[in-house]
């Protein structure tokens, strides 16, 4: 008799590794809390879906997509979004151990391989300890400090595995959901944008004087740059910008209820970016709106008119309501002030260190343990993983963009995904969050869409347009 659980052994081992990595990054005694939380979370999901493991997996993936931008929300020592991904994987493996997932595209696999490669090279051929000892990093107040990391090899390996989880585990979970129900692809897209919009709406309400975000994050409203449900204003802005193409996709749907949802989400996203005070976010949200409307089929033909109307409206604001325009520049900090001068100084310092790290080890970098320290994502890639990681990330992004482009004739959602990937490239110039998991959600949705498309084509069925649909 065939062992029905044999096909899930590799996934089970990977899940065990994921839990081990999460345990490494936590204070002593917290792993028990995580295990208990996992069991409770799985039990609650099972109750909600009446014991159907596959439905439980879909529910968990949608909940993860909804909350992954909320990186300031912790339940005990963990972020719920991070916990929901392994819960979903467990559900799919137990329900169908031999048919739970599909191998991700080559451009995803090569990035996972490159991450492991640079980590192994950093461990086997470590960077000169003398160089590491004299690296200048910044403490929480932005002051120079000498790095005091313990085991470099241990830290590098931990970051590598967490990075691989972001790149590979999320697509695996999303494809598992798509294998169960092809509608899960649009549910995931809707979940992602509504979760981001909720964070943006909370941030704007906080900007107006409320204290909404603190109900979730337990962080105080400092009445300056807003956090929403994130742990940093720049992370808030990045997550909201990535949600904009999906809101535009909803807004251009043929279904009234989806247009209404898009009309609710888009202002929340844009106003949330405004409340974050992120200069990069302010620039990227405007560019992303333009790219999304230029790519989406129902607005593509009207894009020149839309762009002209936007330019005229912006010019009218500057000409006739200069105080309003000045207020926008002040809040988004695009006009410059003392705070931006300090931020620019800090960025210059960590940027110089990132360039020095790359020059010291241009092929494989000095180790993934420094991937959080540079001033932007491209420098983070070069400093921590050298040309190997930079090249692999470039292939990953280009492979995803090309895949989305090829799907555009059949799926409007592909246009939104392409716009989100373009937005990621622009955000990488301004932001410095290489390994944050929400960054990889659009690519994971794309992988799930590729799966459903290929299955429909392989079955010689007509390719059904994935219209937006709420969960």
* Each residue's pLDDT expressed in tens, for the chain with a length of 471 residues: 333 334 445 555 555 555 555 555 444 445 455 555 665 666 665 566 556 788 888 999 999 999 999 988 887 777 888 888 888 888 888 887 777 778 889 999 999 999 999 999 998 988 888 888 777 776 444 555 555 455 777 888 888 888 998 999 999 999 999 999 999 999 999 999 999 999 999 999 998 888 888 888 888 776 678 888 998 888 999 999 999 999 999 999 889 999 999 999 999 999 999 898 888 888 899 899 999 999 999 887 776 776 666 666 655 655 554 554 555 555 555 555 545 555 667 777 777 888 888 898 899 989 888 887 777 888 889 999 999 999 999 999 999 999 999 999 999 999 999 999 999 999 998 887 788 899 999 999 999 999 998 887 766 555 555 565 544
Say if 394 falls within a structural domain.
yes
Domain that holds residue 161: 6-113+144-458
Say if 214 falls within a structural domain.
yes
Q: In the Cβ-directed half-sphere of 307, how many Cα atoms lie within 13 Å?
A: 13
Say if 467 falls within a structural domain.
no
Say if 338 falls within a structural domain.
yes
Say if 468 falls within a structural domain.
no
Per-residue tokens: 55: 């439905």
Say if 333 falls within a structural domain.
yes
Instruction: Give the number of other CB atoms < 10 A from CB of residue 400.
Output: 25
CB contact at 8 A, 88 and 40: no
| Domain total of the chain | 1
Say if 349 falls within a structural domain.
yes
Q: What is the pTM of this model?
A: 0.84
Say if 179 falls within a structural domain.
yes
Separation CA 93–CA 176 (nearest Å):
9
CB contact at 8 A, 135 and 353: yes
Q: Which helix (H) or strand (E) holds 246?
A: helix 233-251
Chain CA centroid to CA 51, Å: 30
Instruction: Give the number of other CB atoms < 10 A from CB of residue 212.
Output: 19
Contacts 24+ apart (CB under 8 A), 251-255: 252/296, 252/297, 252/298, 252/299, 252/412, 253/467, 253/468, 254/467, 255/467, 255/468, 255/469
């Amino acid at each position: 008799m065939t062992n029905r659980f044999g096909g899930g052994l590799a996934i089970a081992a990977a899940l065990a590794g994921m839990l081990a990595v999460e345990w490494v990054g936590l204070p002593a005694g917290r792993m028990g809390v995580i295990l208990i939380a996992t069991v409770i979370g799985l039990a609650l999901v099972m109750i909600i879906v009446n014991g159907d493991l596959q439905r439980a997996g879909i529910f968990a993936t949608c909940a993860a997509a909804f909350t992954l931008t909320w990186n300031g929300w912790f339940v005990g020592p963990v972020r719920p979004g991070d916990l929901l991904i392994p819960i979903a994987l467990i559900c799919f493996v137990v329900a169908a151990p031999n048919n739970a997932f599909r191998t991700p595209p080559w451009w995803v696999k090569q990035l996972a391989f490159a991450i492991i490669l640079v980590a192994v090279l950093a461990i086997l051929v470590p960077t000169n300890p003398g160089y590491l000892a004299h690296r200048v990093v910044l403490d929480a107040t932005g002051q120079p400090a000498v790095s005091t990391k313990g085991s470099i090899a241990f830290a590098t390996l931990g970051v590598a595995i967490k990075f691989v989880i972001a790149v590979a585990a999320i697509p695996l979970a999303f494809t598992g959901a798509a294998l169960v129900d092809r509608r899960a692809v649009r549910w995931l897209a809707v979940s992602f944008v509504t979760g981001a919009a909720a964070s943006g709406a909370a941030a704007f309400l906080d900007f107006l004087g409320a204290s909404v975000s603190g109900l979730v994050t337990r962080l105080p409203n400092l009445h300056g740059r807003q956090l929403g449900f994130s742990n940093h204003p720049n992370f808030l802005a990045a997550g909201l910008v990535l949600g904009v193409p999906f809101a535009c996709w909803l807004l251009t749907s043929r279904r009234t209820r989806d247009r209404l949802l898009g009309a609710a989400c888009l202002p929340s996203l844009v106003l949330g970016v405004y409340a974050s005070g992120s200069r990069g976010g302010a620039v990227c949200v405007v560019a992303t709106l333009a790219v999304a409307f230029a790519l989406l089929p129902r607005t593509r033909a009207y894009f020149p008119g839309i762009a002209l109307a936007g330019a005229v409206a912006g010019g009218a604001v500057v000409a006739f309501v200069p105080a309003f325009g000045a207020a926008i520049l002040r809040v988004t900090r695009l006009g410059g002030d003392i705070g931006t001068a300090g931020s620019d100084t800090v960025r210059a310092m960590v940027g110089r260190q990132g360039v020095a790290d790359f020059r010291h080890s241009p092929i494989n970098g000095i180790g993934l343990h420094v991937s959080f320290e540079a001033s932007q994502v491209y420098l983070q890639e070069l400093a921590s993983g050298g040309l190997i990681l930079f090249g692999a990330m470039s292939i990953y992004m280009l492979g995803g963009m090309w895949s989305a482009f090829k799907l555009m004739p059949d799926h409007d959602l592909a246009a939104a995904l392409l716009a989100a990937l373009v937005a990621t490239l622009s955000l990488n110039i301004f932001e410095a969050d290489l390994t944050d998991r929400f960054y990889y959600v659009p690519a994971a949705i794309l992988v799930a869409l590729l799966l459903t498309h290929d299955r429909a084509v392989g079955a010689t069925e007509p390719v059904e347009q994935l219209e937006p649909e709420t969960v």
